[in-house]
Amino acid sequence: METQTDILIAGAGAAGLTAGIALAGAGFRVALRGDLETRRNGRTVALFEASLRLYRALGVWRRLAPLACPIETIRIVDDTGSRLPTPPLELQAEEIGLDAFGANIENASLVMALAAIARETPGLDLRETRLDDYEFASSDARAATVDGEKISAKLIVGADGRNSRLRAAAGIKTREWNYPQVAITALLRHSRTHWRASSEFHTRQGPCTLVPLPAEGANRHRSSLVWLMNPGEAKRRMALADGELAREIETQTRRLHGAIALEGPRAAFPISGLACQSMTAKRAALVADAAHFFPPIGAQGLNLGLRDVAQLVECLETRGADDPGADKPLRAYDRARKLDVSVRALGVDLLNRSLLWDLPPVDFARGVGILAMAGIGPLRRALLREGVTPPGRLPALMRPLADAR
Ligand SMILES: Cc1cc2nc3c(=O)[nH]c(=O)nc-3n(C[C@H](O)[C@H](O)[C@H](O)COP(=O)(O)OP(=O)(O)OC[C@H]3O[C@@H](n4cnc5c(N)ncnc54)[C@H](O)[C@@H]3O)c2cc1C
């Protein structure tokens, strides 16, 4: 079977599906090929305001909102035993004029809902298969699926995750590094309400975070867990019975949510980082984890990836209408994404290492930072805004609806 299209997207995770819906909405013919990762593994994503604006602008948020829980408060508790102890910090969305910082949704639910929307989107052809062999020529790019379909496209978008095959085939160089940490994820139900608050307990091994989830059936109080710890502790905790792990979560989170029980399977993710020399190559562009990867701290990963998607759509719409794989729109995309991606990766890296480094000057600097956030309103509001709606020029699909497009 042979397929000709404007844009081929490799990878049907949240980023690839969103890119497919947005690019088809912008008038391109899009083929999207990838497996749907719909296993429930305790992994959720907190999406901030700019990401929600993207989904609103695409007209899909009303389908996702019932699956998500708004995050109205962010609570940070320093549990490092720091030499400069700080009181718990509570940040409210209303301080920056928002009802909520964003919303938390199970990754599997997000992928399933986006896949259903993708199947109804005119101009978007989604098939569950994997892409193999890539070839890049000056006038087009070609790929083959493992089941024998041959596809030619003006542009191939790599949304195929951290081990991106497209990235390697396009010859994009990477820098990779590891952290002495593993994240355990799980869905939890608990006896007390979460008050729509995300609660982060910063420990010497990394943050332990409870993020609110919506009620499901009779389970009214639910949250997701992202707990970073050293690999030895992760191995021990992964081997615990559900009840034993639940008790350890209760202890670490100071029984804030009352009695906890695990809901379904847990998963463990070794923590690493990846940066690319460029987000584009001849007739190829990368988005989301295929382009950058860092620890799940401050919920930045997919939010950053969706900014890639929104920016790519804008560059292709404005400069690539005739040929979306031409140099001009791809260069514009690479340029537009460099600063945001490197600033986020650096910020997350520093925050993570500031917890791991047990050194007096680092403790002091972190403590002063938290105290300044608590005491200086304008600074706190500026940092909060920066986290949920990054400064600088946001792509049109992420601007408030009134001035978008
Ligand atoms: C524990 C944890 C917690 C996190 N929490 C948050 C959070 O709260 N907020 C946030 O913004 N981010 C969070 N992140 C990051 C976020 O989950 C990722 O950034 C996001 O899922 C990346 O989406 P993606 O579509 O790029 O990649 P993936 O979800 O990895 O999807 C890639 C897809 O490509 C497919 N694929 C691979 N190879 C091929 C091929 N050859 N052909 C076709 N398809 C292929 C894969 O099967 C997969 O479906 C978290 C990450 C972790 C690990």
Closest CA to 326 of 100, 71, 155: 155
Q: Among the atoms of ligand 1, which is closest to the Cα of residue 46?
A: 8
Tokens 């083959």: give the residue.
144
Longest pairwise C-alpha distance within the chain: 65
Q: Tens digit of pLDDT per residue, the chain (405 long)?
A: 899 999 999 999 999 999 999 999 999 999 999 999 888 888 999 999 999 999 999 999 999 999 999 999 999 998 887 777 788 888 999 988 899 999 999 999 999 999 999 999 999 999 999 999 899 999 999 999 999 999 999 999 999 999 999 999 999 999 999 999 999 999 999 999 999 999 999 999 999 999 999 999 889 999 999 999 999 999 999 999 999 999 999 999 999 999 999 998 899 999 999 999 999 999 999 999 999 998 888 788 999 999 999 999 999 999 988 999 999 999 999 999 999 999 888 888 888 887 777 777 777 777 777 777 777 777 777 777 777 777 678 999 999 865 544
Tell me which of 3.30.70.260, 3.40.47.10, 3.40.50.40, 3.50.50.60 is the CATH number of domain 2-176+273-403. 3.50.50.60
Residues in the chain: 405
Q: Among the atoms of ligand 1, which is closest to the Cα of residue 290?
A: 26
Q: Among the atoms of ligand 1, which is closest to the Cα of residue 267?
A: 1
Domain ranges of the chain: 2-176+273-403
Instruction: Tell me the one-letter amino acid at 281.
Output: A
What's the Cα-to-Cα distance from 309 to each of 14, 20, 23, 112, 159, rounded to whole Å?
11, 9, 9, 19, 10
Q: To 10 degrees, what angle do helices 301-319 and 14-25 make?
A: 20
Left (φ > 0), alpha (ψ -120 to 50) or beta: where does 195 sit?
left
CB of 114 closer than 6 angstroms to any ligand 1 atom: no
What's the gap in Å between 365 CA and the centre of ligand 1? 33
Q: Ligand 1 test: best mutation among 45, 269, 303, 312, most atoms within 8 Å of CB?
A: 45
